[in-house]
Structure 1
Amino acid sequence: MQHESSVNISPIKALNPYQNKTIKGRVTNKRKMHQYSTPKSTSQVFSFDMIDDEGTEISITCFGDVAEMHYHRVEARTYYTVSKGCIKEADTKWNKLNSHLEITLDNNSVLKCCEAVVDSQGNNSPFTPINEITYYTNNTLVDVIGIVVVVGEPSLIRRKDGSEVTKRIVKINDVSTFTINVKSWATTWQAVGEDLKNMHATQTTVVLAVRNARVGYFNGKMKLQDHTDTLWATGFDEVGTNLLQISAKDLYMLQYDLTTKRTPQTIIKRVLLSCFVFTLSVTTNMYNSEPRLKATITKVTNINFQAECTLLLAEIARTSIAAAFQTN
């Protein structure tokens, strides 16, 4: 085993397609070997994810003979050095990590098992505080960790195609004091849910960490709040553009624009806790035999504080006069 002091290790974030550097990281996820076919032959592929001590992740893929050579050597939670790989832009269709690069190993690449860092504490990937998840757009992948407060019972959901899947929700909260639902339809999640339920029933504290959780909002709705209560409401097209001051297309493209510091998260964060005047269309729909209000935002405008103050003063005066008559 080569000691790391004799190797010039670069952080993953320093990688680029034009320079060959050696990186070191811990395997966080190893995927199964898959067979695939082309018109001329059949082959195989597998991939794994690594994270370095700065918390930067990258996906590494092996094909054909290289996949056969490394598949049984790569183990989760084990440290490796990687060098002489082909570095390229990440294919976001398959690569869901928050990294714009990925590595493909070939016969000239070097993959070596190495010693773990003594002071490394588990997964170095920073967890997203639950109260900041509202800053992220729909389908963004985040890592979350929290204390289990509720383990829901499994429920059977019928899809549009007639098939059935089992859904389970686990509710967690963290030091931000916010709570979020962690939901999955995966078969393995049902077993995990049972384990969490049993542990939660017998232990004081159960902590759940989830990697690559996909952010989702109920029907894509935005949450509104005034001094009386909160309300989930839906806004489309022009409403969203007026609220965020950016079109849906431009907001989507920001995640690929490396020339600006603006991101979808910063755009959304900018309007959080801001005050607007919302015009709503409210209807009542039946859901699981229960009536539910559905609010749709038809118009959003900035507050005219002068006009609002005039109305408020008039209301105060009217109330004061009415109170005076009642006293007399």
Structure 2
Amino acid sequence: MPVNLTANAISAIVAGDVNAKPLVQILDVKLAGATQDRYRLLISDSVLVQQAMLATQLNGLVKAGGLRKGSVVQLIEYICTYIQNRKIIVVLNMEIIIPDCDIIGNPKMLDESDSAVQKSVPERPFLSAASDNNNNHLGAQNAVRSNAPFRNNVNSSNLASSAQSFRPVVQPPYQPPPNFKGHGAIMKNEAPARIIPIAALNPYQGRWAIKARVTAKGNLRRYNNAKGDGKVFSFDLLDSDGGEIRATCFNAVVDRFYDVIEVGKVYIISKGSLKAAKKDFNHLKNEWEIFLESSSTVDLCPDEDAIPPQQFSFRPISDIESAENNSILDVIGVVINVNPSVPIMRKNGMETQRRILNLKDKSGKSVELTLWGDFCNREGQQLQALVEAGHFPVVAVKAGKVNDFTGKSIGTISSTQIFIDLDHPEAHSLRDWFDRGGKDIASHSISKEIMPGGSKNEVRKFVSQIKDEGLGRADKPDWVTVKATISFIKTDTFCYTACPLMIGDRQCNKKVTRSVGNSRWLCERCNQEFEECDYRYLLQIQIQDHSGLTWVTAFQEAGEEILGCSAKELYLLKNEEQDELRYAEIIRNCLFTEYLFRLKIKEEIYGDEQRVKLTVVKADKVNSSAECRYLLDSIARFSAR
């Protein structure tokens, strides 16, 4: 059955018509490079041949064997753009009509002139049908391989053998080129770029636009490398077809768009460049990432119900147990426990906050969720208040990071989003399950069991165990939590005078002294003088429990948690206002109050003597409700052994 390809399809596409859905034939398929997973095509409309590039999302058609040399296909979505000063058709979507077919017609490369073709092909007034078909096929192959005019490969034996079946060659009738005057504005970039799905984006498109909702916006980060200082931020986009992609801005582009971009809003974005996504930092299921430039446009448009506010791919907690370390995934569960926030010192010397909570779901498993930084005070405090009030909220985690250190856990990263009691079918189903009896079903934790507020290498201890177990005498400090009562506070020297100057983004805090013959303060580290100093806590506190007592040191933040006021306020109250009654009342209110002390225990050398120093990192008054839950959980774990 003869196949009629769409007449003048190649001319129309090259001239700018991308709205038709022509029927064309594939004359060749090959990899663009030895190490690249991208395919080049030669496309024919039976008269002309043009080079093309297959979008990577269609690679499966080639690998499955459906798209090959000779296939007749219908182009659904495509564009024509310049690549290395040559026009290339980029095929975004197609449908295979006939997987295998003989070469149709006698096509030639589009950039060959008619005169060149006529000069290179001798007159063939009489050829057999079989020889004509063979040579048409061979001529098409030569054109595909070398972009050269077809040559007559018929030898004398072919002519002799087909002498009895001569027939004249019928030339195709002349067809004038199509008129595309109406598309002139598009070719001159005078009209808006056509909006395409995110899934169709690729680096070979000259002009594109996408309409998408911002689902996440990263913090503004500053960096320093061999090229100098810089700043960067990224945001994630979701369109109505479910396609997701990340957009990134650097330096001057940050100034243009950082304040413009808002999470939840819908924008039309165009004129950016696409580069391969770095999967170490980009969890979205897209091989490309948009880099906005000085010429890029970001236009706010009315909200559209067709674009969902967020897209989730929830994994049950039981699946996390077999997930790879550092993998990024979405998880949803009911919060069954929230621990206090504790300060953590990073390797770069900066301090941050960490809060651990526990989630359970219908899979019969529970997992630790570790909140870092702002999540601790923002979502963390809200979750703690809800749990303490007896409401166990459903929490959805978008882009949590898997950690496999002594069990599996989930942690937040810069692109993580936390949703509390989300309006989502999965959240409603989990809520109903929990309220109907799921809360009473025992669940097995896939994370290491630790005490509230603890880290992966610490447990709850009694005071006597600190000495009995020789804590703090190893190369690294021990971190433990002790539930104890304050029995005494030294009040003669409860603070010191500190340098208020900033070194980078941190305060100096070194001890300062009065200058000789001067009322100004001097910091030897900063080598500067100033009118006023700061005051920071250096508390010596005796704590005790049923097993014994010990001395601990509390610095600024821990001192404020214990006494409830700043060191400067207490210093002025005692030394300038001389309000002894109020001063004594502040101290007295702390005595015989039970706290959860998080301690750093490390052996240090003072002169020629080695002593174990206990430093209070965090001090929280004991919450009766949370402590009862901890004790009940401890009893349940002990009974299960």
Could you state the TM-score of these two structures normalised by the residue count of structure 1?
Answer: 0.57
1:129 and 1:231 map into 2 onto residues whose CA distance is 13
1:71 and 1:160 map into 2 onto residues whose CA distance is 29
> Which residue is equivalent to 2:204?
18
1:65 and 1:155 map into 2 onto residues whose CA distance is 37
1:192-230 Cα deviation digits (max 9, x unpaired)? 222101112336441212222111123368xxxxxxxx9
1:29-87 Cα deviation digits (max 9, x unpaired)? 22344455677776543322212234433211123433222222111111112222101
Deviation of the 1:231 alpha carbon: 11
2:211 and 2:242 map into 1 onto residues whose CA distance is 12
State the secondary structure of the residue aligned to 2:295.
coil
1:287-312 Cα deviation digits (max 9, x unpaired)? 64799xxxxxxxxxxxxxxxxxxxxx
Query: Do structure 1's residue 182 and structure 2's residue 369 form an aligned pair?
Result: yes
- Given that 2:334 and 2:361 are in contact with CA atoms closer than 8 Å, whether structure 1 keeps it comes out as yes
> Which residue is equivalent to 2:294?
107
Residue of 163, 168, 172 corresponding to 2:359: 172
> Which residue is equivalent to 1:210?
397
Q: Could you tell which deviates more after superposition, 124-133 or 99-108? A: 124-133
2:349 and 2:342 map into 1 onto residues whose CA distance is 16
The unaligned stretches of length 5 or more in structure 2 are 1-191, 409-443, 447-456, 470-641
2:340 and 2:213 map into 1 onto residues whose CA distance is 35
1:67 and 1:168 map into 2 onto residues whose CA distance is 31
> Which residue is equivalent to 2:312?
125
State the secondary structure of the residue aligned to 1:136.
coil
The unaligned stretches of length 5 or more in structure 1 are 1-5, 222-229, 233-285, 292-328
* Aligned residue type for 1:53: S
Report 1 or 2 for greater relative contact order, CA contacts < 8 Å, sequence distance ≥ 6: 1
Deviation of the 1:154 alpha carbon: 3.5
* Aligned residue type for 1:179: S
Deviation of the 1:21 alpha carbon: 3.2
> Which residue is equivalent to 2:327?
140
Q: For residues 145-164 of structure 1, what are the structure 2 equivalents within 5 Å?
A: 145-155=332-342
Q: Could you tell which deviates more after superposition, 154-163 or 13-22? A: 154-163
**Structure 1 residues 205 and 74 mapped into 2: Cα distance closer, same or farther (>3 Å)?**
same
2:196 and 2:270 map into 1 onto residues whose CA distance is 10
The structure with the larger Rg is: 2
**Structure 1 residues 202 and 169 mapped into 2: Cα distance closer, same or farther (>3 Å)?**
same
State the secondary structure of the residue aligned to 1:29.
strand
**Structure 1 residues 172 and 53 mapped into 2: Cα distance closer, same or farther (>3 Å)?**
farther
- Given that 2:327 and 2:402 are in contact with CA atoms closer than 8 Å, whether structure 1 keeps it comes out as yes
**Structure 1 residues 139 and 74 mapped into 2: Cα distance closer, same or farther (>3 Å)?**
same
Aligned-residue Cα RMSD (Å) equals: 3.7
> Which residue is equivalent to 2:215?
28
State the secondary structure of the residue aligned to 1:18.
coil
2:445 and 2:213 map into 1 onto residues whose CA distance is 43
> Which residue is equivalent to 1:56?
243
**Structure 1 residues 92 and 119 mapped into 2: Cα distance closer, same or farther (>3 Å)?**
closer
1:7-42 Cα deviation digits (max 9, x unpaired)? 743332222211243222211222344455677776
**Structure 1 residues 29 and 218 mapped into 2: Cα distance closer, same or farther (>3 Å)?**
same
- Given that 2:220 and 2:231 are in contact with CA atoms closer than 8 Å, whether structure 1 keeps it comes out as yes
- Given that 1:55 and 1:126 are in contact with CA atoms closer than 8 Å, whether structure 2 keeps it comes out as no
1:241-298 Cα deviation digits (max 9, x unpaired)? xxxxxxxxxxxxxxxxxxxxxxxxxxxxxxxxxxxxxxxxxxxxx964799xxxxxxx
- Given that 1:170 and 1:181 are in contact with CA atoms closer than 8 Å, whether structure 2 keeps it comes out as yes
> Which residue is equivalent to 2:276?
89
* Aligned residue type for 2:267: Y
* Aligned residue type for 2:200: A
State the secondary structure of the residue aligned to 2:321.
helix
State the secondary structure of the residue aligned to 2:259.
coil
* Aligned residue type for 1:18: Y
- Given that 2:240 and 2:307 are in contact with CA atoms closer than 8 Å, whether structure 1 keeps it comes out as yes
2:396 and 2:308 map into 1 onto residues whose CA distance is 14
Residue of 303, 307, 313 corresponding to 1:116: 303
State the secondary structure of the residue aligned to 1:194.
helix
State the secondary structure of the residue aligned to 1:108.
strand
1:130-181 Cα deviation digits (max 9, x unpaired)? 2322342000011222221222233566778998765322112234443221
Q: For residues 247-258 of structure 1, what are the structure 2 equivalents within 5 Å?
A: none
State the secondary structure of the residue aligned to 1:13.
helix
- Given that 1:53 and 1:124 are in contact with CA atoms closer than 8 Å, whether structure 2 keeps it comes out as no
Q: Could you tell which deviates more after superposition, 212-221 or 154-163? A: 154-163
> Which residue is equivalent to 2:545?
none
1:107 and 1:191 map into 2 onto residues whose CA distance is 35
1:74 and 1:10 map into 2 onto residues whose CA distance is 21
* Aligned residue type for 2:233: F
2:337 and 2:392 map into 1 onto residues whose CA distance is 11
Query: Do structure 1's residue 66 and structure 2's residue 253 form an aligned pair?
Result: yes
> Alignment length, in residue pairs?
225
State the secondary structure of the residue aligned to 1:138.
coil
- Given that 2:238 and 2:307 are in contact with CA atoms closer than 8 Å, whether structure 1 keeps it comes out as no
1:163 and 1:87 map into 2 onto residues whose CA distance is 35
2:445 and 2:296 map into 1 onto residues whose CA distance is 55
1:158 and 1:33 map into 2 onto residues whose CA distance is 22
- Given that 1:54 and 1:124 are in contact with CA atoms closer than 8 Å, whether structure 2 keeps it comes out as no
**Structure 1 residues 161 and 124 mapped into 2: Cα distance closer, same or farther (>3 Å)?**
closer
**Structure 1 residues 119 and 172 mapped into 2: Cα distance closer, same or farther (>3 Å)?**
farther
State the secondary structure of the residue aligned to 1:188.
helix
